[in-house]
Amino acid sequence: MAECNQGYGYGGKLIALVAMDAFEQPGFEGYVQLKSKINGIEKFYDHLGGERNWQRVIFDTDVSKAIINKYLPDGGTIQWIIN
């Protein structure tokens, strides 16, 4: 996230949208796994409750629910804008 956009919760909202999608996909139950850069951003994922093993970050069902409740308490929608 660009420094000028930090502190607005955009990163948390993006992870919350991915977690919501993971609940909608059969068999995932909110499970999210991602590969992180190693440039200090790892602390952000720790803050969200992700379990980190080097570059891999895992958000289990309970953590995903907590992220959704915190960053998208009223739910979330994605509107694709095509130019």
pLDDT of residue 4: 73
Spans of all domains in the chain: 3-71
For residue 80, pLDDT over 70 is answered with: no
pTM: 0.79
User: Pick the residue with more confidence: 83 or 8?
Assistant: 8
How would residue 67 be classed by pLDDT, with cut points 50, 70 and 90?
very high
**Element holding 16 (H helix, E strand):** helix 10-24
Identify whether the C-beta of residue 63 lies closer than 8 Å to the C-beta of residue 18. Answer: no
- Comparing 67 with 46, the larger pLDDT belongs to 67
